[in-house]
Amino acid sequence: MSSNNSRSRKAHGRGHGSVSHVLQNHCFGCGQGNPDGLRLRFELAPSGRSFVCRFRLGPRWVGPPGHAHGGVIATILDEAMGKANKLRQVIALTREMTVEYLRPVPLKQWLTVEGRTRAVRGRTQHNVAEIRNENGEILARSRAKFIAIDAEKMFAKHIKGRERALGVMQRGLQQK
């Protein structure tokens, strides 16, 4: 899989608030430290209201011949919607998600995924995402509920080293 190598590499939307010199991001979807992952790179859209990633899937992500596996498509949409939480400086986890597979998603072609927030109700973020081909056709779309969490309480015991989860994640959010 290739991602967005021709564009400038901004800190916007990378990882789950990771700080590369302190911790390596091993997220399956966006972690550059995960050699087996998708390694997606998101940027804040010019409008400032969504996160966007241009990518190309290689043959290792095959489902139907010549096309991406549905689980990979769902993962990409989930990552895009997850990045949208950063628009409000929120760390949130997916609670439920619906995917509509509208057309087969081809391998070896440039695609774009975009995620944005549709509504916020208390701790619940209602986000949406779409995968489009180079002609702008929507191939798959999703909607999900994300629940804002206290990262220090939830993840601190899983982070090794001297940095606490909340501090690392908050610094990542502030890099916008």
Q: What are phi and psi of 127, to 5 degrees?
A: -115, 155
Domain ranges of the chain: 2-174
pLDDT, tens digit, 9 for 90 and up, residues 9-48: 343 444 555 443 346 777 877 778 778 878 889 999 999 9
| Residues 79-135 pLDDT 10s | 999 999 999 888 999 999 999 999 999 999 999 999 999 999 999 999 999 999 999
pTM here is 0.77
- At the topology level, CATH places domain 2-174 in Thiol Ester Dehydrase; Chain A (3.10.129)
